[in-house]
Structure 1
Amino acid sequence: RHRGWIGLAFIAPGMILFLVAIVYPVFGAVQMSFYHWQILAGAVSQWIGLDNYARALADPEFWLSLGNSGLYMLLTVPPQIVLGLLVALLLKAKSPAQPLFRALFYLPVVTSWVVVSLLFKYLFADQGLINFTLHDFLHLMSSDVSWLSDRWTAMLAICALGVWKGIGWSMMIFLAALQGVPESLEEAAMMDGAGRWRRFRTVTLPAIWPSMVFVIVLLVIGGFNVFTSVVVMTGGGPADSTQVVLTYMYDQAFKFLDFGYGSAIAVLLAIIVLILSVVQLRVFRDRSEANA
């Protein structure tokens, strides 16, 4: 019993912080989503039930922002997985320059989102480096492209930033997983005449599969939570065409002070991400069991 109290004393600070900083705001947001929430002193918030959710489901802007979030996720998750794994395989071999290359690839991960978003905003500006390289230097385009003035090219620029910044994180996870693959398995496969691709498919990939699932699930969650790069690079424009769910929620809550509607959007996003995560874990678990 005495040891139990000691253990509780050690976890109490972290648990209190978790309850105050995570649990309480979550329940507060859910509560606000059922109200026409008032923030002015003396104003009374009005209970409106599911009206905010019905409004979101009938709101074309919400569906546009959800579609942009899904597009960002689809265009950024596969490249981060493939390129991160490729870089990890290349850096697996021991060499004197290996720590340097690891640091270089991981540097974008620890760089501020605001800083790199401003950098990419400059790169894709009308007179930026991308247009200079493609138009003036390589002569691959007949004229400059207003990358950030069109929905599709702006989303392409935002996705390019997401991929560039996320490769290093995937690389570190895969590199740690690759170092845990027993060399004896690869040597046995090599002695059986298996080529490099077959060894990767039958030995390496199954061994790092749990790490692969971890990376995929977290990248999908992160893809739907894109925010800073959109705010800095396009501000949701032009004409709100690059709004994602979090920027649209932010505008409703903090620009128009409609906290009830903004909270409803946040809850809907949380439900969507939760469903996707559960489905992914179920599918990957079934695949793991089938391979076993």
Structure 2
Amino acid sequence: MSKSQLSAYFFIAPFMIIFVIFMGYPVFYSFYLSFHQVVDYYDMFGGMKFVGFAHYIKLMGDSQFWWSILMTLYYAALFIPLNIAASFFLAVLLHNKLRGSRFFRTAYFMPNVLDTLVVGVIWIFIYLPNGPLDHILSAIGITNFSSTGFLGNPLSAMPAVVFAMVLKSAGFGMILFLAAIQNIPKSVYEAADIDGASPWQKVVQITFPLVKPIVLFLSVIGAITALNAFAEIYAMTSGGPYQSVGSQALGVTNLSGYYLYRTFESARYGYAAAISYVLLIITLVISTINMKFLSEK
């Protein structure tokens, strides 16, 4: 082995040690934990009983888990199209040579770098009963949310959370769309001008079809974001408000990521580990589909 190779391994070693300690070991230990039941919470290594696939079997019949998956699908169904539409609209708007476009690009992207927990706390104050948004709506005669606020109403809680996250995330998609639009040859638009195409026709028939790979990418990222959504739910709703479904009270914003957190918080460590691996499998399936479609593009 040459000196250059030894030097490379020497510089890589600190990262690999840190990765194994803080990432690799927890991954393998959580997989091990998913097949065990903790019986002694003061001894997380020796105080466990092997239960095999019991946690996974129990998960298949857990109505709370499947409800969280259903609410995650609802979150994704709202978030993905709204995020793509907002990102594409901003990109098309800023692609035009408008005065101050650089400032607006930065301004629209800034919320994306804020911590999700911070964004959630800010929106709590906006959505409060008799808060800023409620005053604006009351001025135009909409008073349905004055008593509960947007986050306290089962009908509006999820859309309110999604709206806040779209405003936070749209800047990222805007940058991707903007880069893709700027790579479209000007000759394509010049040919459309000669044919008498309107600005709307150029956007719908030229711009949007040529940026479809970005649409697909943001769709998959949005699905993964929904599966991992936690901080916004933790900050804004804590899984509520609750509504009666059959004989159970179920939270309308109790997403899969938040349900995983609540399971772990209640000291059901083995069961929480099993949930995390089921969510991992779903994420891997979505990512594989994404890679397949992108490679075809």
* Kept in 1: contact 2:36–2:50 (CA 8 A): yes
Q: Which residue of 1 aligns with 2:280?
A: 270
Aligned 1:1-292 pairs, distance under 5 A: 2=2, 3-37=4-38, 38-41=40-43, 44-135=47-138, 137-141=139-143, 144-146=146-148, 147-239=150-242, 240-241=250-251, 242-254=253-265, 256-283=266-293, 288=297
Give the counterpart letter for 1:34 in structure 2.
F
Q: 1:133-158 deviations in whole A, cap 9, x for unaligned? A: 222x2222367251323333211211
User: Distance between the aligned counterparts of 1:229 and 1:142, measured in 2?
Assistant: 24
Q: 1:45-89 deviations in whole A, cap 9, x for unaligned? A: 111111111111111111111111111111111111011011011
TM-score (ref. length: structure 1): 0.87
| Alpha-carbon spacing, 1:15–1:95, altered in 2? closer, same or farther (3 Å) | farther
TM-superposed CA distance for 1:284, in Å, is 5.8
User: Distance between the aligned counterparts of 1:60 and 1:228, measured in 2?
Assistant: 23
User: Distance between the aligned counterparts of 1:192 and 1:10, measured in 2?
Assistant: 59
Give the counterpart letter for 1:26 in structure 2.
V
139-148 or 5-14, which deviates more: 5-14
User: Distance between the aligned counterparts of 1:259 and 1:122, measured in 2?
Assistant: 34
User: Distance between the aligned counterparts of 2:37 and 2:207, measured in 1?
Assistant: 54
Give the counterpart letter for 1:230 in structure 2.
I
TM-score (ref. length: structure 2): 0.85
**Secondary structure in 1 aligned to 2:128?**
coil
Q: 1:207-247 deviations in whole A, cap 9, x for unaligned? A: 43333332222122112111111111111123451211111
**Gap regions ≥5 residues in structure 1:** none
User: Distance between the aligned counterparts of 2:259 and 2:127, measured in 1?
Assistant: 23
| Alpha-carbon spacing, 1:21–1:185, altered in 2? closer, same or farther (3 Å) | farther
User: Distance between the aligned counterparts of 1:142 and 1:95, measured in 2?
Assistant: 39
* Kept in 2: contact 1:33–1:260 (CA 8 A): yes
Q: How many residues align?
A: 285
Q: State percent identity of aligned pairs.
A: 29
* Kept in 1: contact 2:80–2:219 (CA 8 A): yes
* Kept in 1: contact 2:80–2:218 (CA 8 A): no
User: Distance between the aligned counterparts of 1:179 and 1:237, measured in 2?
Assistant: 43
Give the counterpart letter for 2:29 in structure 1.
G
* Kept in 2: contact 1:173–1:215 (CA 8 A): no
